[in-house]
Amino acid sequence: DQQVKQNSPSLSVQEGRISILNCDYTNSMFDYFLWYKKYPAEGPTFLISISSIKDKNEDGRFTVFLNKSAKHLSLHIVPSQPGDSAVYFCAASSGGGADGLTFGKGTHLIIQP
């Protein structure tokens, strides 16, 4: 039973355009969401997070939107740059316990020149 779903295994976007990565979740107890970026042969790097009390969080070129009623979040990257090519993982937590994060399977973002 996959509680965090990233339905697009890969996404190709032209440099300078907007990249939109999507994530859906099923567990209504999740109250904290994170995005990680991972290059090959490296550990994931924390990118941006959002608490369930917010619907938007912005950090430079990265914005995360949360729609609680739809149990959906998205990561927007504007403008997309070649260095953004990586695998992006969505993760969620129900807090209140050190039981780790639940990760999606990842979306491979490819930025084309």
Partner 1 sequence: DVKVTQSSRYLVKRTGEKVFLECVQDMDHENMFWYRQDPGLGLRLIYFSYDVKMKEKGDIPEGYSVSREKKERFSLILESASTNQTSMYLCASSLVSGGPQETQYFGPGTRLLVL
User: Which residues contribute to the site for partner 1 (CB under 8 A)?
Assistant: 9, 32, 34, 36, 41-46, 49, 51, 89, 91, 93, 95-101, 103-106
- In the complex with partner 1, the residue whose CB is nearer, 74 or 94, is 94
Smallest distance from partner 1 to CB 6, Å: 8
- In the complex with partner 1, the residue whose CB is nearer, 13 or 34, is 34
Which position has the token pair 């990760």?
A: 103
Smallest distance from partner 1 to CB 45, Å: 7
How does DSSP assign the chain, residue by residue? --SEE---SEEEEETTS-EEEEEEE--TT--EEEEEEE-TTS--EEEEEEETT-SEEEETTEEEEEETTTTEEEEEESS--GGG-EEEEEEEE--SS----EE---EEEEEE-
- In the complex with partner 1, the residue whose CB is nearer, 89 or 111, is 89
- In the complex with partner 1, the residue whose CB is nearer, 57 or 79, is 57
